[in-house]
Amino acid sequence: MKIERVGIIGAGQMGSGIAHVCALAGYDVLLNDVNAEALESATASISKNMDRQVSREKITAEDRDGALSRIATTGTLTDLGQCDLVVEAATERETVKDAIFKELVPALKPDTILTTNTSSISITRLASKTDRPEKFMGFHFMNPVPVMSLVELIRGIATDEETFAACMEVVDRLGKTAAIAEDFPAFIVNRILMPMINEAVYVLYEGVGNVKSIDKAMKLGTKHPMGPLELADFIGLDTCLSIMNVLHDGLADTKYRPCPLLTKYVEAGWLGRKTGRGFYDYRGDEPVPTR
């Protein structure tokens, strides 16, 4: 099937980034969120980020103007019913995603491809609760979407070849590269990345090093562009904890046990950059370690 109209659920950092790259690739985009302020913030952020791309000569002003004209927003989920492809990029909680699909599916065209940007949840299980498991896939973008070139494509047990081929075509049109992953907890990137972050939190928890020394060690010792605790704050500590819980529950291996300190930070509402505090405090001019 030919995909021309893309619906995106969730106007947060990931959803707005997906809208950004889809519009630049020539797709008509309909961005949905239950929060009107989130939609306003997303469109302002997309415009600002495209302005930055123009100033750096990554795109032309004409590219930007054309892309922005192709983005529409809606607070009504069922408005996405006429889209050819829907990408769900809501909160990383299975109950939330199930509720979204339950409301959306009856409004979809029979041939609409339904995908999820989940970073860890079973594609097969999510798909089984819809009317189109053969037209359901994992479409996992990396953050920040306009900058990162990778997309993980994950087939559920029922996903058909036509759906896979159509999603691969979208990845190519976006100018990105696909990594094909099997449907196991956290797929490839987060299966490797999150235990590393969790181990860094254990190193902090056990007093082996403080926040600053851990991040410095990994940046200078392994050439990582960002230390693991700084990266955790960027991703969101709630998301990190959610993925670790999926790994621990899904694989039943104690090596995936979330660090109690990670749980404590999430309980405190210190979720990283988005809340102003995590392993660093971002409320001043410069980030300050909180431990």
Told to judge if 55 belongs to the known catalytic residues of this protein, a careful annotator would answer: no
Query: Is residue 198 marked as binding?
Result: no
Contacts of the segment 165-170: beta carbons below 8 A, 24+ positions apart? 166/1, 166/3, 166/85, 166/113, 167/85, 167/113, 167/115, 167/137, 167/139, 169/3, 170/3, 170/6, 170/85
> Residue 196: what pLDDT?
98
Q: Which amino acid is at 238?
A: D
The domains located in the chain, with CATH, are: 5-182 (3.40.50.720), 190-289 (1.10.1040.10)
Identify the active-site residue in 32, 88, 117, 140.
140
Told to judge if 152 belongs to the known catalytic residues of this protein, a careful annotator would answer: yes
DSSP 8-state code for residue 257 = P
> Residue 1: what pLDDT?
75
- Segments in the chain below pLDDT 50: none
Query: Is residue 219 marked as binding?
Result: no
Identify the active-site residue in 16, 32, 117, 119.
119
Report CA 291 to chain centroid distance, whole Å.
28
Query: Is residue 161 marked as binding?
Result: no
267 phi/psi in degrees, rounded to 5: -60, -30
Query: Is residue 15 marked as binding?
Result: yes
pLDDT tens for each residue of 219-265:
999 999 999 999 999 999 999 999 999 999 999 999 999 999 999 99
Told to judge if 190 belongs to the known catalytic residues of this protein, a careful annotator would answer: yes
Query: Is residue 278 marked as binding?
Result: no
pLDDT tens for each residue of 40-55:
999 999 999 999 999 9
> Residue 189: what pLDDT?
96
Identify the active-site residue in 32, 88, 152, 198.
152
Query: Is residue 92 marked as binding?
Result: yes
How many CA within 13 A on the CB side of residue 122? 16
Query: Is residue 183 marked as binding?
Result: no
pTM exceeding the 0.85 threshold for the entire prediction: yes
Q: Which residue has the tokens 């819980």?
A: 245
